[in-house]
Amino acid sequence: MVDFSFIGKEGLIVQYDDIIAMVGYNVARYLKSKEYNNDKLRKMSTQDILLSYINRPNEDPSIWLREEFDIEFTVDKYKNSFVTWQPNWWYFYKVFKAAEDNGIKQLYVYTEKYIPIIESDYIKTFGVPVKYITGDIKQILSEHVNYTFMTASPSNILKCLDIEVPIAITIFDDFLCLADVVCDGIADKLREKTKFVNFSGVTSAGLI
C-alpha cells in the first residue's frame, strides 16, 4: 500500500515552460512592443495575445507563433534571449517560498533542453535556493522519488504513466492543448499507477 500522505514531499520540480515563463507569449509580446511588421500582431491587445496563447491547441509554441503570426521560432535560436525566458517573478517566488516554508528543500526548475540563461541569470534572482535540471522527464522523475512535478505539458504528463516510483503531479489544465489528455481521464490513469494528482490553473494560481 502506498502512503499518499508522503507522496510529493521530498522535493519540487516545476516545468519552466508555461508555468514559470510563457515562452511563446513572451516572444509575441516583445515583438509587438518593438512594432514588428505584422498587422495581426499590431492590432491585437496584449491580453488577446495571452488568451490566444493559452487557448492554442498544440503544446509546441513554435506552431502557435507560426500559424498565428507567421513568426519562425526555435528553442536553439532563442535560447540566450532574456525576453523569451523571462519568468513571472511573483509567481515563481510564491511557489518556491511556500515550498521552502513547508520544509521542502529540494527545489528545481526543469526544461527538456538546456537553456543557458536560466541557469546563468534567472535562478540566481529568485530569493530561494533553486537548482536547474534538464533532460528526459521520465528518467528525472524516476530518480526523484516522492517529488512533486508541476506541468502544463501533455506529452510529459503522458510520460508519467510509465514512471514506476511514487510521485505527485500538479496539472495546469486551463491550457487548451491539455484538453485531450484531461478528457481522456489522465488523472484516473495516473492514480491507478500510484500517482497523486491534483489540478491548478494559470488564473487561479496567479500567473495572470
Question: Structural domain boundaries of the chain?
Answer: 11-21+87-200, 23-78
CA torsion angle 116 119 123 124 (round to 10): -110
Q: Is the pLDDT of residue 205 over 70?
A: no
pLDDT class of 180 with cuts at 50, 70, 90:
very high
What is d(CA 133, CA 184) in angstroms, rounded to the nearest whole number?
Answer: 29
What is d(CA 73, CA 82) in angstroms, rounded to the nearest whole number?
Answer: 15
Amino acid 144: pLDDT:
95
- Mean pLDDT within 129-140: 95
Per DSSP, the residues of 70-92 read -----HHHHTT-TTTT---HHHH
What is d(CA 58, CA 191) in angstroms, rounded to the nearest whole number?
Answer: 25
- Mean pLDDT within 95-123: 90
Amino acid 208: pLDDT:
57
**C-alpha cell, 44:** 491585437
Q: Which amino acid belongs to residue 7?
A: I
- Mean pLDDT within 157-184: 93
**C-alpha cell, 91:** 509567481
Q: Is the pLDDT of residue 89 over 80?
A: no
- Mean pLDDT within 114-128: 88
pLDDT > 90 in the chain, percent: 70
Amino acid 123: pLDDT:
87
Q: Is the pLDDT of residue 207 over 60?
A: no
Give residue-wise pLDDT tens across range 1-37. 334 456 788 999 999 999 999 999 999 999 999 888 8
Lowest mean pLDDT among 46-60, 76-90, 155-169: 76-90
Lowest mean pLDDT among 1-15, 83-97, 98-112, 157-171: 1-15
**Average pLDDT across the chain, whole number:** 89
Q: Indicate yes or no: pTM above 0.75.
A: yes
Q: Which amino acid belongs to residue 91?
A: Y
Q: What CATH number is given for 11-21+87-200 in this structure? A: 3.40.50.720
What is d(CA 78, CA 8) in angstroms, rounded to the nearest whole number?
Answer: 33
What is d(CA 169, CA 190) in angstroms, rounded to the nearest whole number?
Answer: 9
